Amino acid sequence: MIEETDFETFLYISTNKYQIIIFDKKKLKNLYSDELIVCNELNFQDLKDLSKFLDDNIYKIEKLVGHFIKDIILIIENDNNLYVNISIKKKDYNNSINHKYLESNLTELKDLYKENYQQENVMHMLIISCTINGQKYSSFKENSTGNNLCLEVNFISISNELASKLSKVLEKYQVKINQYMCGNYVKKFLDHDHSEFYLTAHKLKNGHNDNEVILVPKNIENMGFFEKFFQLFS
């Protein structure tokens, strides 16, 4: 039996492939892998093939690890994933820009995105640039002197409609989606060796990209909206 905390399950979906992976977090390698390649482009509106693919794999995986699969990280590569950049410019009359001030502005950007794209589910929130008094910075020092802050953030999202359909398919197996990731975003961090795809996804999930803001659900007790700041400004 493998301890539940020692592995994580990835389900990858693109227009021509389904793949399911059990990733060993201690040994940093795939423990189990199966995929289904289709000749015709997958129809995200009809997920019967996904159900059959999961039928063929869930039991095998649970027998292998000795546990029920309770949740998965779903990586989706879809041309309909939405990419939107939003900027915010603020004046701080205290002339000192600290982490709390940054958090406030990042939260405002997140709320602005959700207000204008209510049919979207955010997968990634990425810092593109931070400018203080007209000067762009690659790192941030606590209590930087300046009163003009400009933040530009990139949001990558999946439609609520598709997210709901995928969730319903997995409900049949009593599996919940605990995180969505964008396949194209993961690929940006690969070299030529795509065999490292899930190792890269695992690293990104755990803060590998210093510019990514890790979002957590608001209903987690005793936690703020941000589990941690993007490491660029740590």
Give the CATH number of the domain where residue 208 resides.
Answer: 3.30.420.40
**R_g of the chain computed on alpha carbons:** 20
Q: 66 and 86, same structural domain?
A: no
How many helices (H) does the chain have, and how many strands (E)?
5, 13
Same-domain status, 126 and 141: yes
Among residues 85, 93, 131, 91, the alpha carbon closest in space to that of 109 is found at 85
Most confident stretch, 29-43, 94-108, 112-126: 112-126
| Residue 119 pLDDT grade (very low, low, confident, very high; cuts 50, 70, 90) | very high
Per-residue confidence (pLDDT) for residue 144, from 0 to 100: 66
| Cα 173 from Cα 57, distance rounded (Å) | 11
User: Does 149 share its domain with 56?
Assistant: no
pLDDT > 90? residue 228? no
Please give the model's pTM, rounded to 2 decimal places: 0.86
Contact status, residue 180 vs residue 76, Cβ threshold 8 Å = yes
Domain housing 189 = 4-79+159-212
Q: Is residue 184 part of a domain?
A: yes
pLDDT of residue 178: 92
In a domain, 221, yes or no: no
Percent of the chain with pLDDT over 70: 85
Q: With respect to residue 220, please indicate whether it lies within any of the assigned structural domains.
A: no
Is 24 inside a domain boundary? yes
pLDDT digits (tens, 9 = 90+) for 161-218: 999 999 999 999 999 999 999 999 999 999 776 679 999 999 999 989 988 988 765 5
| The total number of structural domains that make up the chain | 2
Q: Is residue 217 situated within a structural domain?
A: no
Closest CA to 101 of 52, 42, 150: 150
Classify 46 as helix, strand or coil: coil
pLDDT score, position 193: 67
> Can you give the CATH number for the domain in which 102 is found?
3.30.1490.110
pLDDT of residue 225: 41
Whether 22 maps to a domain, the answer reads: yes
Looking at the fold, whether 186 and 133 belong to one and the same domain comes out as: no
| 86 pLDDT higher than 90 | yes
Q: Is the pLDDT of residue 71 over 90?
A: yes
Higher pLDDT, 229 or 185: 185
